[in-house]
Amino acid sequence: MEAALGIFFICCMSVLSPFSGVDEGELRGCPPSPNCVSSQSMKYNFIHKVDPISYTTSREIAFQRIAKYFHESENIYISEEKEGEYIRIIFFTKVFRFPDRVEVYFPESKNEVQVRSQSIIGLWDVFANRRRVNRFREILNEEGS
């Protein structure tokens, strides 16, 4: 009974997790459930930690590349976009249309993108969020895009 109650609370924390957005120059953290990854997660939290995405172009070009990908992709709803700085997206899985919240943040001080990707429903994401972040990494490292 206690284990079931614990799992229930972890699942609820996924839905009621820290809200999205940038707070004091950082994306908000992940809930304790393993259905979220963040480049600005706690430094020693190996469950949620992914590396920020580095880019060699200008900040504007990097933002345009990732924004173009979002605007041209299917099953994506862009809920907020601040030109050159921040994009919040809702991805919907192809078969069951489960929503995943994704945020990309381009801080001014470094040539890197901070990213957070979280499955809104469910306890585990079967590494979908990590694969998604790796796809963003590929997009930003493409030559001549």
Residue in the block written with tokens 């493409």 = 142
In the prediction, which pLDDT does 124 show? 77
CA distances from 112 to 7, 52, 124, 134 (A): 35, 6, 27, 14
The torsion angle over the Cα atoms of residues 128, 38, 35 and 82, rounded to 10 degrees, is -80
In the prediction, which pLDDT does 78 show? 95
Tens digit of pLDDT for each residue in 19-47?
Answer: 667 877 888 888 888 889 999 876 657 78
What pTM does this model have? 0.81
